[in-house]
Copies of this chain bind each other. A is one copy, B any other.
Amino acid sequence: MTKQEMRTEATKKAILQSAEQEFSEKGLYGCRVDEIARRAKVNKALLYRHFNSKEELYKEVLVRVYTRLGDLEEQVINLKTDYELKLRDLVQIYFQFLYDNPSFVRMVMWENLNGAKSFKERGVAETKNPILHELGRIIDEARLRSDVPETIDSDQLILTLIACSFNYFSNMNTLNIIVGKDLMLAENREKRIQATTEMLLAYLKEREQKQTHA
């Protein structure tokens, strides 16, 4: 890579970082190209040269943000063997990820509000998602060991994991008011991780019992 190319890459990265801040904060419509350029310390014409349009830049940001999920892979493979503990860790890791990546949460929200348009157009769903991948494996393994019944609906577990984790951050502003607490506090997050884990496990066991009694 030549010096020139490296400079170009640096420029693009600066733009993307700036754009991530702006887009995640204000969305595709609330955000201003001027502001992105200003924060990236480049001029608008350059931004357009590299990304063609505001919308394309937005999509690039979406992809970039989503890709970070992939970085969880290492953490996820090194989980304990016991499936209860594994599940607990998985929830923990997901919560931590959402806590560390507020722009992920917000971009997903913008996407949902926008009919997941860019999400679909850029095939973001294909992005490696170690959390869900591992949840699937946990269930599969448990099934094999008959820890959970064959009939378990793994979608419900996925939906519950996502709901309890994602919603905690996505709706934090209103939830804080509703429960009258600062849910950002480590203590409260910890409690919620615990409860989420218990819920998932309880759901599994409940099903198990039903299965047994059936």
Contact = CB atoms under 8 A, between A and B. Distances in A.
A119 interface: yes
A25 to B, nearest CB: 9
A28 B179 CA distance: 26
Nearest to A119: B174
Contacts of A199: 160, 199, 202-203
Contacts of A28: 30
Interface residues of A, number: 53
A23 to B, nearest CB: 11
Interface in A164-186: 164, 166-168, 170-179, 181
Interface in A137-179: 153, 155-156, 158-160, 162-164, 166-168, 170-179
A183 to B, nearest CB: 8
A125 interface: yes
Contacts of A205: 202, 206
Contacts of A63: none
Contacts of A201: 206
Interface stretch (A50-58, A83-91, A93-101, A104-112): A104-112
A176 B116 CA distance: 10
A120 to B, nearest CB: 7
Nearest to A157: B195
Given A153-B191, A167-B163, A202-B203, A173 B115 contact: yes
Q: Which of A158, A163, A198 has the most CB of B within 10 A?
A: A163
Contact of A173 (B30, B119, B156): B119
Nearest to A170: B112
A176 B202 CA distance: 25
Nearest to A106: B113
